[in-house]
């Protein structure tokens, strides 16, 4: 199972790690942490050295009840940093975490090779047609509502079935528009209760019916630290446990804050699967 990133074929039959770079001051875990270009570039370099295949850059916080920001503010946060990273690391494979078509277009023009959309086109009617033109891999995530409202409605009759139908419809639309490389993300923590999140983790392998790579973004999330009555800062061990379960259930990409530990989990699971 390959995806084409800026002309490079990335083989996802062996799971890969996507390192998170948040440019938001209010992210639930590392908001405002990289206050200078030097700190930011050091962090990117560390993630690459630790084994990240992709770096996912986000300038819009999607944590529950996150503050909405304008497209202009998102671009002002994102574009200078994107240019800086591409200049320092020309070969880097950058994913941009955005639901806005204009942000996606400008990011790919600078050098991003993938778009990660938490809304799967639901928050910008131009996004799908834009992705058809950009011809880059597209991560579509399942979410109910918006980051501000997503925890209000968590009612499902059959959560697995409903999310598979949701993805099937989105995939059909994207295929008609010529989008070749699609990656699915079930959206842990986005419009799901704690029990629903664990049901999705336990039954993640059922999503292989869609025959697409699965991305899992579970790093230091509340489904881990609330269950264990701790904090995001103390949820690294829980993250590794959950990532290991996700890998055993067919995940192709782990989106994480802690790259080294995710790479280690992949190596151990790979040996078990031989």
Q: 109-145, pLDDT tens digit by residue?
A: 999 999 999 999 999 999 999 999 999 999 999 998 6
Q: Is residue 2 included in any domain, yes or no?
A: no
Q: Which residues contact 28 (CB under 8 A, 6 or more apart)?
A: 61, 63, 220, 221, 222, 232
User: Is residue 261 assigned to a domain?
Assistant: yes
Full residue range of the structural domain in which residue 156 is found = 15-272
**Residue 122 covered by a domain:** yes
Instruction: Point out the catalytic residue in the list 63, 102, 255, 260.
Output: 255
Q: Whole-prediction pTM value?
A: 0.93
Among the options 16, 77, 192, 221, which is catalytic? 221
Classify residue 129: in a domain, yes or no: yes
Q: Which residues contact 185 (CB under 8 A, 6 or more apart)?
A: 116, 139, 140, 141, 142, 214, 215, 216, 217, 255
pLDDT value at 66 more than 90: no
> Does residue 24 form part of some domain?
yes
pLDDT in tens, 183-224: 999 999 998 999 999 999 999 999 999 999 999 999 999 999
Within a domain: 185:
yes
Instruction: Check which CATH number belongs to the domain holding 52 and give it.
Output: 3.20.20.20
Based on the residue annotation, tell me whether 220 is a catalytic residue of this protein. no
What are the pLDDT digits (tens) for 172-183?
999 999 999 999
Count of structural domains, the chain = 1
The answer to whether position 99 is within a domain reads yes
Domain annotation covers residue 74: yes
Cα–Cα distance for residue pair 192/170, rounded to 1 Å: 20
Residue 77: active-site member: no
The Cα–Cα gap between 82 and 113 comes to 12
């Amino acid at each position: 199972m390959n995806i084409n990133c800026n002309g490079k074929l990335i083989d996802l039959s062996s799971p890969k790690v996507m390192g998170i770079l948040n440019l938001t001051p209010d992210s639930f875990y590392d908001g405002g942490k990289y206050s200078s270009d030097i700190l930011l570039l050091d962090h990117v370099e560390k993630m690459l050295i630790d084994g990240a295949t992709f770096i996912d850059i986000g300038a819009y916080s999607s944590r529950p009840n996150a503050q909405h920001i304008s497209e202009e503010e998102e671009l002002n946060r994102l574009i200078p940093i994107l240019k800086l990273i591409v200049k320092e690391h020309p070969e880097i494979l950058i994913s941009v975490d955005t639901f806005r078509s204009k942000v996606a277009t400008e990011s790919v023009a600078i050098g991003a090779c993938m778009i990660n959309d938490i809304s799967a086109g639901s928050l910008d009617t131009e996004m799908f047609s834009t992705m058809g033109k950009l011809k880059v891999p597209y991560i579509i995530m399942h979410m109910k509502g918006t980051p501000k409202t997503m925890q209000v409605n968590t009612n499902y009759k059959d959560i697995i079935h409903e999310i598979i139908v949701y993805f099937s419809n989105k995939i059909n639309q994207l295929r008609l528009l010529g989008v070749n490389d699609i990656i699915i993300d079930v959206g842990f923590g986005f419009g799901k209760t704690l029990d629903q999140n664990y049901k999705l983790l336990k039954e993640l392998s059922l999503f292989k019916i869609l025959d697409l790579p699965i991305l899992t973004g579970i790093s230091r999330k509340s489904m881990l630290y609330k269950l264990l009555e701790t904090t995001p800062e103390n949820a690294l061990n829980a993250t590794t446990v959950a990532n290991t379960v996700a890998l055993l259930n067919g995940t192709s990409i782990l989106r994480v804050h802690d790259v080294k530990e995710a790479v280690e989990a992949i190596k151990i699971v790979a040996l078990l699967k031989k």
